[in-house]
Amino acid sequence: MTGDEQIIATPMLTLEAHNVFWLSVHRGLIPKDHAFKLAYTLKTFLSEGVIMIENLEPYLNIGLEIAIRQSHSFYDSLGIAQAQVLNASMITADVRQAEIARAEHVTCTII
C-alpha cells in the first residue's frame, strides 16, 4: 500500500475481527485487556473513516456465483466479489481464499 488506497470492507470485518480477538484470548496468545484494546482500535478506525464498511447487497449474487463456480464458501466468496466489483486488491490470511481470488482475477495479498 502506498498510503493513497482506501480500505473498504463488508460488515463481516467487524464480526471476523472480534472472533479473532476472542480466539487469541482463548488460545492464550494475548491477554483479555489487549483484545479490548484491539476492538477499540478497530472501532476508532471505523468511526474515523480509516476503514469504510459497505453494504453487502451489491455483492450477494456475484458472491454466490463465485461460491458455486469455485465450490467454496459463500462467506469467503463475498469478499472476493467485493474486490472484483470495486476492481480492488484484496488482503487475506486465508491461503485458499487467496487462490480463489486469483482464479477470479482479483489481485490478492496473503498476510
**Contacts of residue 96, Cβ cutoff 8 Å, sequence gap at least 6:** 72, 76
pLDDT at 2: 59
C-alpha cell at position 24: 487469541
Q: Is 49 helix (H, G, I), strand (E, B) or coil?
A: coil
**Contacts of residue 29, Cβ cutoff 8 Å, sequence gap at least 6:** none
92 pLDDT higher than 70 = yes
7 pLDDT higher than 90 = no
pLDDT digits (tens, 9 = 90+) for 19-72: 999 999 999 999 999 999 999 999 999 999 999 998 899 999 999 999 999 999
First to last CA, the chain: 13
Can you give the pTM of this predicted structure? 0.73
Residues in a beta bridge with 52: 8
**Contacts of residue 54, Cβ cutoff 8 Å, sequence gap at least 6:** 8, 9, 10, 82
- Tell me the chain's radius of gyration from C-alpha atoms: 15
pLDDT at 73: 92
Q: Any idea where the domains of the chain sit in the sequence?
A: 7-53, 57-110
Averaged pLDDT of the chain = 92
Residues in a beta bridge with 90: 108
